[in-house]
Structures are given as C-alpha cells and as structure tokens.
A = this chain, B = another copy of it.
Amino acid sequence: MSKPMINHRGPEFAKLIADMTTSLKACFRTSGDVLTLTSSGTGGLEASIVNFLSPGDHVLGVTVGFFGDRIADIAQAYGADVARLEFAAGTGADPGAIRRHLSERPDTRAVLVTHNESSTGVTNPLRDIAAIVRETDALLIVDAVSSLVGIDVRVDDWGLDVVTTASQKAWAAPPGLAMVSVSERAWRANGSAQMPRYYWDLKVAKQWLGRGQTQATPAIPLFFALNEALSLIKREGLEDAIARHARVGARARAGAVDLGLELFARPDVASNTVTAIKAPPGIDGNAIVNLVRDEYGIELAGGQGPFAGKIFRIGHLGWVDESDIDETIDALRVALPRLGFKVPVVGKR
C-alpha cells in the first residue's frame, strides 16, 4: 500500500484489475463475473440487491442474526416486499422452511441469505439452501462477506446467483473493497430490474472492467493490497486455506469449552471464521473484551444488538493459525478469573 499512486485510467491499473479479477474468480469458483467496488461489504450487499430487483418484488429474507437482518433491511429500503424467515440466534436456517415458503409464494423473486452470520458465529447450510432455491426461478443472493476463502463456497457448482464478500475478512486485506459475483441468471434479471442505482450499477462496472478501469476513482492502495493478499491465498492454496480455517475454528471452540465457557452457536452450524461465546452469568461480555484488549493486547469483539454484553467473539479468519488461538485462550484463562469467573483446572491436555 505504500507504493505511489498510479493513474487509474492507465495501463498499469488495467493490468492490476485484470489480474485481480482472474484471481477472484478462482476463489469464488466461478467462470462468471466478479466485480470489485470501492466500499465496505455493506455497499456490496446493496449492489447485490438493487441491480437485480424492482420495488414491489416479493423477496424472502432468511435471517439468523444481525447480518441477515441487514440484507433484508436493504431490500426493504428499496421497496421490495420482504418476508422474513427468522431462526433463533445460534441456530442455522432450516432449508425445509425455505422450501415451504417458495412453494407457498411461487412469485418469490429472490432469496437473501447470509452464509456466515458473524454476529452469532453460525454458518448456514448454504449448499442445501442453494439446492432448494435452484428448484425454482428465484435468484439466490448470498452474503458471503465473512465466509469466502475461509469456508467453502462454490458459486457455479451450487448455482449461487449473486455473492458478496469484503476485502477485510478471510481475504486478509484491509477493509474498503467489496467483491460481488454475478451469474448469467442474475444478469438476465438485471435487464428488467427497476430499483434505482448509480454508484452500485454492476452492469456499468462490467463495462468499465472491460476497458481495465472502474467508473469512479478506485481506492488504489486497497487494490494493491487485495492483489497481494490474493497471491498469498494462491500460494497457500484455496483448499488448504479452507482446511486451516476448519482446524483453527475447531481449536477455538475446544479452547473455549476447556475454559468452562459455553458456546453460543449450535455445534452443527458452528462457524470456522468466528466463534461466539456466552459471557458467564454475572459477567459483562464487554468487560471481557476490554480487559483482554487493555492488558493482553488481543482484540476480541463484543456482541451486537441484543447480544451486547451477553456474548463475546473470537474472530479467526484471514492469516490466523493455531498459535494465535492458543494465545487468545491463554489470555482468557488469566483474564476471566480477574472478573470473578472460576476457570477449571484441566491439567495436561
């Protein structure tokens, strides 16, 4: 990122964005389009809605937490007729319930689903959900912000229509870029989609990409960084990166259980990129986050929305390995007693 800026209308940028897009497509496992936007992941989610739907369209928002609500909120802000299928926090979405909704409402134009709900540490059964949506003509619009390259996502094989991710998650680049894939089915829907758009216009983005440019000035340092992050992923290998996240996730969960803590997500849907842990009774989750930050230099995350203070979370996506998890668990082992929690003595493991 400390390289000097380059002209974003010149040949050097054209090569950068072409190389980056090729690498991104490999990671999304798609031969379709992947477009990169200068914005947070939330902006990518907005693009994934407004390019493919019209006001009044019936849409099913499948939500298991904060980010499932967010994408449904975006669709609603743009006038979609959103039905919400909500599942209890800590559980995953039930594909059978999605099937029932689709058969009751054959006019459903899109299903919105969060692959990895980082607010609760839950990974939804995306492959099963996709198989059900693919029995219909509805678009499957996926928030894969905190899953892609950390958890298996197969855009073409599973038939995912629009998939959004963000640079600061398992890609391990800094925040500020959103990447969105678009299937042929989605491009067909784009032809009649009436929601207003300008900055988020993916058709325009595709036209500019063909010329090696972006419509508006791109965040050049972040493009440099993401391109570098992509070469690191390529060097490790996508399968190996996903396997590493699985090992790290399992280690985080086991470590928390060893400490006598209770996991928030049900084991069958526990995420490999973030682990949500219940704050022990009588202890404020934010106090844990603050103590571990201030005294041990480790950044945990608190709970969001209704879970503020009730849970805390260990993020383990990107360049995280087992030793990082061990250090975090050790910090908790010495921090929790200071807040009055009795950590069990387990001896040699």
Interface residues of A (CB under 8 A from B): 1-2, 5, 7-10, 38-43, 46, 73-74, 77-79, 166, 168, 174-176, 195-199, 214-222, 225, 293, 299, 301-302
Does the CB pair B199–A46 fall under 8 Å?
A: yes
Q: Is the CB of B197 within 8 A of A77?
A: yes
A196 in complex: contacting residue of B38, B176, B195, CB < 8 Å: B195
**Given A42-B199, A166-B217, A196-B196, 11 new contacts (CB under 8 A):** A38-B38, A38-B39, A39-B39, A42-B215, A43-B43, A43-B216, A74-B198, A77-B196, A78-B196, A175-B220, A219-B219
Which chain B residues border A220 with CB–CB below 8 Å? 174-176
Quote the shortest CB–CB distance from A249 to chain B (angstroms): 20
Pair A40/B218 contact, Cβ less than 8 Å: yes
Expressed in whole angstroms, the Cα–Cα distance for A10 and B290 within the complex equals 9
| CB-defined contacts of A8 to chain B, threshold 8 Å | 175
The 10 A-B pairs of least Cβ separation, nearest first, read: A176-B219, A40-B216, A42-B216, A175-B217, A78-B196, A1-B1, A43-B199, A77-B198, A74-B198, A7-B299
B221 touches A5 (CB 8 A): no
Which of B168, B199, B225 meets A39, CB within 8 Å? B199
Distance from A310 Cβ to chain B, minimum over Cβ atoms (Å)? 16
- Give CA–CA (A248, B7) in the complex, Å: 21
Our pick among B38, B40, B166, B168 for the contact of A40 (Cβ within 8 Å) is B38
> Which B residue's beta carbon lies closest to that of A174?
B221
Across the interface, do B198 and A73 meet the contact criterion of CB distance under 8 Å? yes
Is B176 a contact of A176 with CB atoms below 8 Å? yes
Q: Knowing A77-B197, A79-B196, A293-B10 are in contact, say whether A217-B168 is a contact too (CB < 8 A).
A: yes
**CB neighbours of A195 from chain B (8 A):** 196
Contact of A1 among B2, B42, B73, B77 (CB under 8 A): B2
Query: Smallest CB-CB separation from A79: which chain B residue?
Result: B196
